[in-house]
Chain A
Amino acid sequence: MTRRDLLDDHMDDFGAQLRRASAPKRTRTRAGRRWVRPAIGIGGLATLGAGAAAVTLFPVAGGRIDIVSEAKAALANSGGIVHLVINQKADFVDGGPGKPAPAAMRHQQLRQSACIDWNQQTSIYIATTGPSRYRASYPTSRCTVGVLHRQVIEPGVEQQTSFADGAYQQYYPSQRLLLRTTDLLPSDRNLAEPAAVAFGMQDSLSGESDPVRDPMDRIRSLLAAGELRDAGRFFGPDGRALWRLRGATPAVDTYREKGATRDTEFKTFVEYVVDGKTFAPVSFSAVRRTYPEGKPGPAFGTKLTFVKYEQLPLNAETDKLVEIQPAEGTKVVSLTSRQIRKLNQSAKGRSAEDRDAYEKARATADRNQAEADAEVEAQIRSEERTAEKSTTP
């Protein structure tokens, strides 16, 4: 039996407090009515409003359109495979509705996202029924060098990941290397769900993450639950009929800024744009806005565009799309999670050839990092010049 220590006591004490905090409470009411909190726990945080630009409003003739019934009719799950191609933009911030972001926030945000080429896309095939199964393909960061099983993974190369039958796999075609793990650690178990890859598992306030397989199923369930509302049809710039669906969480969380007299509240606004006829997802975005001292303040989010959405029937051919098909000569390495964590990642013990390969890749990554930093500096200077011009009389 393991000897108890101070940490055990600390954890027991905290656990008791959690238990008390989670005990049922009376429902709070506001102005005599039940305060209903719609739960929008979708993966993906994004900027609002930058999606399909409204050109003209779609005239709604006759009576009110029952969007829930229309959505149900359109959103019949094919029970097969969904193929998504997603373009995800970097986080952005603003200083308030219609206001630029505070300089320090903007600078930090730009620096963090500069190495990830957001114009490159993630392609993911997802089995929509049965146990979780998916295959995703996307590029690595251009400023990062990886070392896996003594092989150098150069910056900005294609990688594929997949999950099926309890096994998580990573495949690097340029290195002809496939790593396979069958015992995901609890901290990595979100890798078993495609939303972790497709939507970046960036959640809303509570950190909730549903096992999203088909975004159309998600839209249908949110509409049926009243958590998304009809925000109107419109035409996109290409003339395509689109439908805007919106939801929001009320301010459910707060924090107190140093020196503030009241808590700052957060609110998340979510918007799906879907095809007006088929309800196929076109874009997803959310903005998390703060309300310091009760007034709209800075916000941040990331927009996710569905460059492609297609439903495929499940058959012998399409089934292969959900699995990694390694090229001939690919080295397959099966490791436990602990073994992967213990892989030699340092220069110690490497051959001269390995070290050379690593140093070359490192030099490329460092150059890319310097380029990214220079791009950020140039962008910041440009923004500052623009800001100066707008304030110069």
Chain B
Amino acid sequence: MPQTLDIDALYERHREGLLRYFARRTADAEIALDLWSETFAQAVKGRRRYRGHSEENEAAWLYAIARNLLNAYLRKGYAEQRAVRRLGIERPPVTDALLRDVERRAGMDDIREEIAHALATLSADTRAAVQMRVVEERSYADVAETLSLTEVAARARVSRGLQALADILDPKLLSEVSS
């Protein structure tokens, strides 16, 4: 018999891990918070359709939402906030100090170092785009102007680079890329 989803318990179990998941895949604390909040908001909105039977099922369901949102972000270049808005949630303000806490707790300094090492394995064009965006933290507009690209093309190139880096940094994601 499927279990009723306890949103409170789900949130408490996964709030830290999910934020770390997004932070390490976007290398951007603010985007990570956006995706994190939207994932839980979508979980609230979709909770009546949940059909799982265990905590493992709950985790799989939640992270499936997360992956969809991450893929959408990598594709479009911005993080959705539809469900957050529809639920009428007013997110607490995001300050520089908060973002520093996110970066520290997610170990993003470590991931930036790993990305810097892994950049050597990318093609020159992709490396330049990812270096500027992720390591140097420049805006997409800036990256586009420097590389003589449109902003859409710059986003796509960074996205491809991040996906390629995900292969290098996390072998399990090979199966995601090729499926």
Interface on A for B, CB 8 Å cutoff? 5-7, 9-11, 13-15, 17-19, 21-22, 39, 41, 104, 108, 111-112, 116, 122, 138-141, 144-148, 153, 159, 161, 168, 170, 179, 181, 185-193, 196-197, 200-203, 205-211, 252-256, 340-341, 343, 345-348, 358, 362, 366, 369
Partner of A191, one of B50, B92, B114, B172: B172
Chain A: CB-nearest residue to B77? A108
Docked Cα-Cα span, A186 to B175, in Å, equals 16
Residues from chain B with Cβ under 8 Å of A11 in the complex: 15-16, 19
How long is the Cα–Cα vector from A159 to B105 in the complex, in angstroms?
Answer: 34
Main secondary structure of the interface of A (DSSP, over half): mixed
Residue pair B170, A341 in contact (C-beta under 8 Å): yes
Measured in the bound complex, the distance between the Cα atoms of B18 and A261 in whole Å is 34
Establish whether residues A253 and B178, one from each chain, have CB atoms under 8 Å apart when the complex forms.
no
Which of A170, A189, A252, A347 contacts B60, CB < 8 Å? Answer: A189
Q: Does B144 contact A (CB under 8 A)?
A: no
A252 to B91, CA, bound (A): 22
Q: Chain B residues near A19 (CB, 8 Å)?
A: 7-8
**For the complex, what is the distance from the CA of A27 to the CA of B21, rounded to whole Å?**
35
Q: Are B64 and A254 closer than 8 Å at their CB atoms?
A: no
In the complex, 28 of the A-B residue pairs with CB atoms within 8 angstroms, ordered by the A residue number, are A6-B97, A10-B98, A15-B11, A21-B44, A21-B87, A22-B7, A112-B75, A112-B160, A122-B179, A138-B178, A144-B174, A147-B171, A159-B175, A159-B178, A170-B172, A170-B174, A185-B17, A196-B60, A207-B69, A208-B64, A208-B65, A211-B53, A211-B57, A253-B83, A253-B86, A255-B85, A341-B170, A362-B121
Inter-chain CA distance A187–B172, complex, in Å, is 11
Please report the C-alpha to C-alpha distance between residue A205 and residue B64 in the assembled complex, in whole angstroms.
11
Asked, given contacts A18-B7, A186-B63, A190-B63, whether A146 binds B171 with beta carbons under 8 Å apart, the answer is: yes
Interface residues of B in 6-31 (CB under 8 A from A): 7-8, 11-12, 14-19, 21
How many of B's residues come within 8 Å of A, CB to CB?
A: 80
Would you give the shortest CB distance from A339 to chain B, in whole angstroms? 11
Taking the closest CB of chain B, its distance from the CB of A111, in whole angstroms, is 6
List, in ascending order, chain A residues with CB within 8 A of B57's CB.
211
- Are B42 and A211 in touch, CB under 8 angstroms? no
Q: Once the chains bind, are B169 and A341 in contact (CB under 8 Å)?
A: yes
Closest partner residue, chain A, to B119 (CB atom): A346
With known contacts A186-B63, A341-B169, A192–B56 Cβ distance under 8 A: yes
- Nearest CB of B to A214, in Å: 15
**Which of B56, B89, B105 has the largest number of chain A CB atoms within 10 A?**
B56
Closest residue to B103 on the A side, CB-wise?
A: A7
CA distance A159 to B178 in the complex (A): 10
Given the contacts A141-B178, A200-B179, A6 and B98 also touching, CB distance less than 8 Å: yes
Please determine whether A140 and B174 come into contact, CB atoms closer than 8 angstroms.
Answer: yes
Q: Which of B46, B92, B97 contacts A206 (CB 8 A)?
A: B46
Q: A7-B98, A141-B178, A187-B17 are in contact. Are A179 and B171 (CB under 8 A)?
A: yes
B48 in contact with A17 (CB, 8 Å): no
Shortest CB-to-CB span from B82 to chain A, Å, is: 4
A363 to B114 CA separation, bound complex (whole angstroms)? 22
- Chain A residues positioned under 8 Å from B83 (CB to CB): 253
Whether B65 pairs with A206 at a CB distance below 8 angstroms is yes
**Does B168 belong to the interface (CB within 8 Å)?**
yes
Residues of the B chain whose Cβ atoms lie less than 8 Å from the Cβ of A22? 7, 44, 47
- CB within 8 Å for A116 and B152 given contacts A189-B56, A206-B42, A207-B46: no
In the complex, given contacts A41-B46, A146-B174, A193-B60, what are 8 additional A-B residue pairs having Cβ atoms less than 8 angstroms apart? Answer: A14-B92, A17-B87, A39-B48, A187-B18, A202-B68, A211-B60, A253-B83, A346-B118
Q: Which residues of A contact B164 (CB under 8 A)?
A: 144
What residues on B are CB-neighbors of A347 within 8 Å?
120-121
The 9 A-B residue pairs whose C-beta atoms are closest, nearest first, are: A206-B46, A207-B65, A39-B49, A255-B82, A346-B117, A209-B64, A7-B101, A21-B87, A140-B178
Q: A207-B42, A208-B61, A347-B121 are in contact. Are A186 and B17 (CB under 8 A)?
A: yes
Task: From known contacts A14-B89, A341-B170, A346-B118, infer whether A190 and B64 are also in contact, taking CB-CB under 8 Å.
Answer: yes
When the two chains form their complex, are residues A161 and B178 in contact, meaning their CB atoms are under 8 A apart? no
Q: Does B108 reach chain A (CB closer than 8 Å)?
A: no
In-complex Cβ contact of A111 among B65, B102, B156, B179 (8 A): B156
